[in-house]
Amino acid sequence: MNRHAGQPYLLCAPALALYGVMLATPLVMTALLSFNSYSDTQGVLLTWSLHNYASVLTDEYYQAIFLRTLIVAAATTAFCVVIGVPEAWFLSRLRPRWRGLALLVVLGPLLVSVVVRTLGWTILLGRDGLINQALTGLHLASSPIDLLFTDTGMVIALVHVLIPFMVLAVWTALGGVDPATENAAVSLGSSQVTVFFRVVVPQIVPGILSGGLIVFSLAASAFATPALIGGRRLKVAATAIYDEFLVSLDWPLGASIACLLVIAVIAIMLLLSRVAERRTQMAELADAEA
């Protein structure tokens, strides 16, 4: 077999060439660009310092943008967990015939352009949109509520865009749950609610975690939905990067925001998975002692 030892690498060569040139190089260049500086008259200057990072981190304008990005992403993740986990469980218990159709409804939107899905929410969330018509019609609200161009509207649309990832991750994890454990709990007198929280959820924590991490990272770096729902004034990190690159043309500053976004997302994801890991370990220890 030694004769073929190099063969896998040969087979991987086209993919490695494509990704080396078109993925690794641009990312490294963005990191380098963030240390350069920009002049209105001469464009990008090849100086090397951290001044872009300093100006982003000390400017209240950018601090507010990063804070909003973080809050919107955290809220989106929380809602995706609260809605997506039970939904995946219900899905897994549908009759096979209905399950196929239900999966098509849940996962199909993933294939529809984010722009189209967000357009739907701009129509629904507007001041004379269907949601406000229903709220005022049912006398739940005396005057239309502002949803479009607000953080709330952004979270609603992002939950819609990203929840399929949550359902999918939990759905996959549910595949590994032995239905006998549920049946055992019911036969011992547990209610369905107890079964869900005490038997099913503890077994699918890794699925919830990986779904949550995907949703969080996609929500924190989302561009189209915040741009269309937030309008020109309500900025998040991704739309701020867009502004620096394509409107004010200060590429080095934009690159530093991009690097900070990546660093922040990775840091939060690592932190979250650490915390979750420790909690599972502690729960296992508690179980072992009991």
Partner 1 sequence: MRRNGPFALAFHAAFVVFMLAPLVVVFLVAFTPEGYLSLPLHGVSLRWFRAIGDNPDFIASFWLSIRLGLCAATLATAAILPAALAIGRRQFALRQAILVFVMSPLMVPAVVLGVGLLRFLSLFGIQGTFTGLALCHAVVIGPYVLRMVLAAVDGLDANLDRAAVSLGATRLRAFWRVTVPGLLAGIAAGWMLAFISSFDELTVTVFVSSPQVTPLALRLFTHIAETTDPLVASVSAIIMGLTLVLLLLLDRLYGVDRLFSGTRA
Is residue 204 part of the contact set for partner 1 (CB under 8 A)?
Answer: no
Task: Considering only residues 143 through 182, tell me which ones interact with partner 1, judged by CB under 8 A.
Answer: 157, 160, 163-164, 168, 171-172, 179, 182
Task: List alpha helices for the chain, DSSP H.
Answer: 7-19, 25-33, 51-58, 60-92, 96-107, 114-125, 130-137, 151-174, 179-187, 192-194, 201-203, 205-220, 224-230, 237-242, 251-289
Is residue 46 part of the contact set for partner 1 (CB under 8 A)?
Answer: no
Q: Which is nearer to partner 1, 50 or 82 (CB)?
A: 82
Q: Which is nearer to partner 1, 6 or 287 (CB)?
A: 6
Residue in 26, 55, 198, 275 binding partner 1, rule: CB under 8 A: 26
Residue in 123, 267, 270, 283 binding partner 1, rule: CB under 8 A: 123
Is residue 184 part of the contact set for partner 1 (CB under 8 A)?
Answer: no
In a 13 Å sphere around the CA of 25, the CA atoms on its Cβ side amount to 7
CA 48, 51, 54, 56 dihedral sign is negative
Tokens of 196: 């869900």
CA-to-CA separations, 137 to 121, 143, 144, 182, in angstroms, rounded: 19, 10, 10, 43
How many Å apart are CA 286 and CA 265, to the nearest integer? 31
Binding mask 63-102 for partner 1 (x = CB under 8 A): --------------------x--xx--xx-xx-----x-x
Instruction: Return the range that interacts with partner 1 (CB under 8 A); candidates 50-58, 121-129, 136-144, 279-287.
Output: 121-129
- Using CB under 8 A, count the residues that bind partner 1: 91
Is residue 112 part of the contact set for partner 1 (CB under 8 A)?
Answer: yes
How many Å apart are CA 222 and CA 244, to the nearest integer? 16
Is residue 275 part of the contact set for partner 1 (CB under 8 A)?
Answer: no
Residue in 209, 224, 234, 253 binding partner 1, rule: CB under 8 A: 224
